[in-house]
């Protein structure tokens, strides 16, 4: 089973929301098998923008972080079919286009979950479920993926 990460998971792991949230995000990532994790390429761009504009990092520092994440996990590309699916998703479900790209890329990469604090928790599209990994109770599929349950 595969899981895609949304930008906020990596942003928290980068310390954007404080030390406590950084530790929580890093613990989550450490408990996921690297082979089960997919990064939609869209989130790498979003993370770069966030690290530079909101976290005050230089572009070189942000690039280094992005490249480290890219090296740690496989990346799912934004292909033409992903974009067409994202357009359908955005139109039919009133989801922002860039969030729709993340969900569509996860679908194309055969993920079962998208871990996101921003997308609607519990939303299911084409067999992919959005779940908040920082919620008090974890989705059963996420629990089954974690090394330490």
- What pLDDT digit, counting tens, does each position of 43-84 carry? 999 999 999 999 999 999 999 999 999 999 999 999 999 999
- 19 Cβ neighbours under 8 A, 6+ residues apart: none
Average pLDDT over residues 15-33: 94
Domains along the chain with CATH numbers: 2-145 (3.40.50.1010)
Distances (CA, A) of 7 to 16, 41, 144, 147: 11, 10, 22, 22
Give the model's confidence band at 30: pLDDT under 50 very low, under 70 low, under 90 confident, else very high.
very high
């Amino acid at each position: 089973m595969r899981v895609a990460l949304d930008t906020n998971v990596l942003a928290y792991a980068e310390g954007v929301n404080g030390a406590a949230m950084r530790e929580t995000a890093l613990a989550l990532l450490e408990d996921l098998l690297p082979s089960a994790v997919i990064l939609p390429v869209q989130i790498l761009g979003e993370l770069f923008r966030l690290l530079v504009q909101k976290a005050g990092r230089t572009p070189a520092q942000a690039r280094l972080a992005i490249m480290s994440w890219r090296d740690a996990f496989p990346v799912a590309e934004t292909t033409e079919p992903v974009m067409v699916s994202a357009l359908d998703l955005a139109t039919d479900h009133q989801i922002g286009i860039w969030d729709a790209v993340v969900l569509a890329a996860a679908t194309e990469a055969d993920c079962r979950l998208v871990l996101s604090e921003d997308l609607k928790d519990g939303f299911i599209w084409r067999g992919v479920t959005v779940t908040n990994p920082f919620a008090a109770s974890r989705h059963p599929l996420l629990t089954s993926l974690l090394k330490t349950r």
